[in-house]
Chain A
Amino acid sequence: MTTSITGRSAVDDDPSGPVGDRASTGRLGDRIFGGLALGSGLLVVGIVTLVGLFLLWQAVPSLMKNEANFLLSREWNPSGEHPRFGIVDLVWGTLVTSVIAMLIAVPLGVAVALFITQYAPRWLSRPAASTIDLLAAVPSIVYGFWGLKIAGDYFQPVADVLQRTLGWIPLFTNENISAKSTLAFAGVVLAIMILPIVTAISREVFAQVPTTHKEGALALGATQWEMIRVAVLPYGRPGVISAAMLGLGRALGETLAVLILLSTLNPNADWTFSIFNGGSTFASRIAQGAGEFDTPQKTGAYIAAGLVLFIVTFVVNAAARVVIERRKAFTE
C-alpha cells in the first residue's frame, strides 16, 4: 500500500499492460463512463493549475503595494498604508530546518531500508516495515507537542555540547534560546516525520535489485556489505535520490510541528546564522498569521509567501518525478 507514495503510475508501465483499449464500442454508456473518468482526471489537472493561478492572482495586489523588497527584506508588516514585507527570514528558516531534517533522515532512512530488505530476518522484515510506516500515521501536531513538552528537554545537553565545542562557527553560536525552540531541534523533529517516506521508497527500490546482481557479487566472494555496496546501492541510487526529494518536499511544507516548536524572532534583532536560534518557516509564518487574515492586502502578503512555498515544493516534487522517470528509461 505504501507504493502509493512513490509516484509510480499505471501510465509509466508497459503500454501493453492490462488494458483492453480497443474494447470501447462507442455506445452511450461507454461514452458517458469514459467521459466521467476523463473528467475526473482533468479535474485534478484543473485543481493544480487553479491552486497556482489563484494564489498568484491574490498575491499580486499586495505585492504591488509592498514597499520593501519581497525577496530581500527581513521585515514583515503587511498591514497599513505602507506595507513592508519580505521573505528572507522565511527562506532561511525553511532551508535550515529542511537541510537538518535531510541530513538526519536520508542516511537513517536508507540504513533502515537496507535493514528491512537485506538484513532483517524474514519474520521481522514485514512488521519492521509496518512499524516505520506507522511513524507517518502520528499527526504532526502531536509531534510538535511531544517535542515541546518531552523530547525537547533531552536536546538541551546536545545543543550545549555543540555550542561549547563548535560555537566559533557562526552556525553554532549560542543565542541563549531554549534548545527545543531552535531551528536545530525543529529540524530533528522534521527528520522523524519524513523518515517513513524516505524509508518506504528506498525500501521499494532496494527490493527490486535483480537477484542476479546480488548473487553475482556474492559468488565472487563479496561479503554481504560489499554486495550491498557494489550491487544494491548503485542500483538503488536514483530511487534514493527521489526518495530524498519527496522527503524534502514534505519537510518544506510541514507546518504544525514547526509552528509549535520554533520561537519567533524579534524583527529588530540582529541577523545571525546560528541554527540555535528561533525563526520562522514559510508554513509556520502562514499558520501564525491565519488569525489575522482581516484585510485582502494583509492576506495577500501571506498568500504571496504561500505561493513561493507552492512553487518550491512543485519544483522539488517534479524533480523527484524526473529522476524516477530517468531511472525507468535506464533500466528498461
Chain B
Amino acid sequence: MSTVQLDHAAAPPAAGASPGGGLGEKSGGRAAKDLTARVLMWLAFAVAVLPLAWILGATLVKGGHMLLDATWWTNSQAGITSRRVGGGAVHAIQGTLVQALVTALMSVPVGVLTAVYLVEYGRGRLARVISFMVDILTGVPSIVAGLFIYALWVTTFGFQRVAFAVCLALTLLMIPTIVRSTEEMLKLVPSELREASYALGVPKWKTIMRVVVPTAFSGIVTGILLGLARVMGETAPLIILGPYTKVIATDLFNGLMATLPTMINQDRTEALQPAVDRVWGASLTLILIVFLLNLLGRVIGRFSKVKG
C-alpha cells in the first residue's frame, strides 16, 4: 500500500522534468530518456494486454453462437459425426466438473494440512525440505505428472486409463497451489488470536481448527478456487490418461469420460466447419468456467480479508 502512495509522491518531480519547470534543471537528454522510458512502459503494457483481448475476442466471435443454442447445454455429442451440425457439450462440461471436484476432494486436505504444518508446526530442516519439495512440485510439468501416473496406474498396477487416474495427476498439480495460498492466509492470522486461545487453555490443535483456520477460511477458499481454475484447463495429463468419449459418463473407475480439453483436442485437426465450430464453442465454455472461478475467488478474497 505504502509504495502505491509513494508513486504519487514521486510523480511531481519526475513530471516536472518534461515541461522543464521545477527545481531540477534536467538536461534535455535526461528528460528525453525519462519520457522514452515512460512511453515504453505504457507500450509494454498495451502489448501484453493485446493477446488476451485478441484470444477472448476471437473465441467469443467464433464460438459465441454455439453457446447461444440451448442444445449446447442440454445434449451430448452422442451419435454426432464431425460432419454433422448439432449436439452439445454437456458430456464434456459434466466430466470437467466431476473430475475437478474429485481432484479437489483429494488435494484440499493434503494441501491445507501441509500448509498448517509449515505455518504452525514446522521449523528447522524438515520444514525446509517440505517447503522445497512443494516448490519443486509447483514446477513439475503437467505432462510429467501425467506420465508418472501412467507409469504407476497403468504400467505398474495394470489398471485401465480412467477418469480417476486423471484426477490423481491433477491432484499433483493442485496440491502446491493450495499449499502456497493457504500458507499466505494462515500467516495473516494475527498471533494475538492464537495466544488468547492458548491463554484460555485451549489445546493447540483445537486452536488451529477453531480459531486459525476459520479466520483464514475465505482466503483458503479463494486459493482452492484458483487452484481449481488452473487444473480445469490442463490438457496434457488428459491426453495421456483420459481418452475422449462422446457420451455422458459418470463412472470414474470404468470406461471413458469426456472433458472440455479432450473435446477440443478431439476435433482440433478437423477442417470441417461443424467440428471447427465445436472446438471454438468448447474453448469458450472452458474459458468461461475458468474465468468464473477466478472471478469468484477474487471476489471472495477481496471482500473477506483477514483483518490483521
Binding site for B on A (CB under 8 A): 1, 3-5, 7, 9-13, 15, 17-21, 23-25, 27, 29-30, 32-34, 36-45, 47-48, 50-51, 54-55, 58, 108-109, 111-112, 114-120, 122, 125, 128, 130-132, 134-146, 148-151, 192, 195, 199, 207-209, 211, 214-215, 218, 221, 223-228, 246, 249-250, 252-256, 260, 283, 286-287, 290, 293, 296, 299, 302-303, 306, 309-310, 313-314, 316-318, 321
Contact = CB atoms under 8 A, between A and B. Distances in A.
A37 B235 contact: no
Per DSSP, chain B at the interface is helix
Nearest to A57: B151
B98 to A, nearest CB: 18
A37 B186 contact: no
B67 interface: no
B72 interface: no
Contacts of B54: 146, 150-151
Contacts of B45: 111-112, 115-116, 120, 128
A310 B41 contact: no
A310 B144 contact: yes
B191 A108 contact: no
A211 B3 CA distance: 7
B141 interface: yes
A122 B7 contact: yes
Given A122-B4, A145-B264, A223-B30, A137 B233 contact: yes
A104 B207 CA distance: 49
A44 to B, nearest CB: 5
A141 B261 contact: yes
5 contacts: A20-B207, A23-B203, A44-B134, A134-B291, A254-B141
Q: Which of B13, B38, B41, B131 has the most CB of A within 10 A?
A: B41
For the complex of A and B, the 8 pairs showing the least CB-CB separation, nearest first, are A253-B141, A139-B233, A4-B180, A224-B14, A317-B139, A33-B205, A111-B44, A40-B113
Q: Which of A17, A24, A41, A313 has the most CB of B within 10 A?
A: A41
A233 B5 CA distance: 19
Given A44-B110, A137-B294, A224-B10, A143 B55 contact: yes
A142 B203 CA distance: 50
A158 B126 CA distance: 52
Interface size range on B against A = 35 or more
Interface string B119-148: 111110011111111111111111111011
Contacts of B141: 252-255, 283, 309-310, 313
Contacts of A36: 113
A122 B135 contact: no
A44 B133 contact: yes
Contacts of B103: none
Nearest to A302: B147
Per DSSP, chain A at the interface is helix
Contact of B119 (A10, A50, A299): A10
A46 to B, nearest CB: 9
Q: Which of B2, B131, B195 has the most CB of A within 10 A?
A: B131
B208 A33 contact: yes
B204 A23 contact: yes
B187 to A, nearest CB: 5
Given A44-B175, A119-B41, A54 B148 contact: yes
Contacts of A254: 141
Contact of A227 (B10, B145, B203, B265): B10
Interface stretch (B74-82, B84-92, B279-287): B279-287
B236 A255 contact: yes
B233 A287 contact: no
Contacts of B99: none
Given A108-B47, A226-B34, A47 B137 contact: yes
Contacts of B234: 139-140
Contacts of B14: 218, 223-224, 227
A290 B298 contact: no
A218 B140 CA distance: 43
B139 A313 contact: yes
